[in-house]
C-alpha cells in the first residue's frame, strides 16, 4: 500500500463518517514529486468525503502559503492553527501525528491532544516504523500501556483501543 493510500484505508476501516480529524504537521511542499511525503495527508483528508472537518496544526506559518495553492484546502472544512491550545476542539475521531521526527515531541503532541479524543478515536503515527523514523520509539509503548492495540501499516502505526 502506498503511503498516501493509508489515509483512505484508515478512514474506511476505523471511523464512521463524518470524521473529525486532528492532524499535527501539515503539507510543506506542493510540488508533485513530494506527494508521498511532506504532509500531503492534509490534502488527502480534505479531499475525503468521509472527513467532516480537518483541524490542521503546524507551527510553521510557511505551510499556510503551500496549502493556499489548493482550493479544497481553502474551505470551511479545514481549520488551520499554529497549535492545539488556540482552538476550541470538539471530540476528535482520528489523530494523525506527523510533526517532527522526534520521539519525545511525538509523545508531547499526543498528550496535548489526548483530552479531545473520543472514546473510540484512532491514532495514526507517520514514520513510526521506517528506518529513519523515530516517532514510534516512545509513543507506541505508551499507547500500548494505555490499552491501545498497534497495527503496522508500514511505515506508519495505527493505534486503536482494545475492546
Sheet holding 92-97, edge to edge: 78-81, 51-57, 19-24, 92-97, 117-125, 156-161, 148-153
| Residue 28, domain CATH | 3.40.50.150
C-alpha 29/C-alpha 13 separation (Å) is 28
Number of structural domains the chain divides into: 1
pLDDT band at 3 (very low <50, low <70, confident <90, very high): confident
Is a pLDDT exceeding 80 seen at residue 4? Answer: no
pLDDT number for residue 101: 87
Write the secondary structure of the chain as one string of H (helix), E (strand) and C (coil): CCHHHHHHHHHHHHCCCCEEEEEECCCCCCCHHHCCCCCCHHHHHHHCCCEEEEEEECCCCHHHHHHCCCHHHCCCCEEEECCHHHCCCCCEEEEEECCCCCHHHHHHHHHHHHHHEEEEEEEEECCCCCCCCCCHHHHHHHHHHCCEEEEEECCEEEEEECC
What are 27-81's pLDDT values in tens digits?
988 888 887 777 789 999 999 999 999 999 999 999 999 999 999 999 899 999 9
Q: What percent of the chain has pLDDT over 90?
A: 76
This prediction's pTM: 0.95
User: In this structure, what C-alpha cell is assigned to residue 60?
Assistant: 510553521
Whole domain around residue 17: which residue ranges? 3-161
pLDDT number for residue 88: 93
Is a pLDDT exceeding 90 seen at residue 5? Answer: no
What are 144-159's pLDDT values in tens digits?
999 999 999 988 999 9
C-alpha 95/C-alpha 103 separation (Å) is 16
- Average predicted confidence (pLDDT) for the chain: 92
Orientation of helix 136-145 relative to helix 103-113, angle to 10° = 40
pLDDT number for residue 39: 78
Is a pLDDT exceeding 90 seen at residue 162? Answer: no
Amino acid at each position: 500500500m502506498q503511503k498516501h493510500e493509508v489515509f483512505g484505508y484508515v478512514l474506511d476501516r476505523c471511523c464512521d463518517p463524518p470524521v473529525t480529524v486532528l492532524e499535527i504537521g501539515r503539507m510543506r511542499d506542493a510540488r508533485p514529486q513530494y506527494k508521498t511525503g511532506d504532509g500531503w495527508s492534509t490534502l488527502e483528508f480534505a479531499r475525503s468525503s468521509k472527513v467532516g472537518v480537518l483541524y490542521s496544526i503546524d507551527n510553521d506559518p510557511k505551510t499556510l502559503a503551500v496549502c493556499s495553492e489548493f482550493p479544497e484546502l481553502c474551505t470551511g472544512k479545514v481549520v488551520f492553527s499554529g497549535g492545539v491550545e488556540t482552538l476550541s476542539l470538539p471530540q476528535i475521531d482520528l489523530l494523525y501525528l506527523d510533526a517532527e521526527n522526534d520521539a519525545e515531541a511525538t509523545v508531547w503532541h499526543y498528550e496535548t491532544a489526548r483530552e479531545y479524543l473520543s472514546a473510540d478515536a484512532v491514532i495514526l503515527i507517520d514514520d513510526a516504523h521506517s528506518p529513519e523514523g523515530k516517532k514510534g520509539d516512545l509513543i507506541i509503548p505508551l499507547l500500548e500501556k494505555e490499552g491501545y492495540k498497534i497495527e503496522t501499516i508500514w511505515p506508519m502505526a495505527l493505534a486503536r483501543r482494545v475492546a
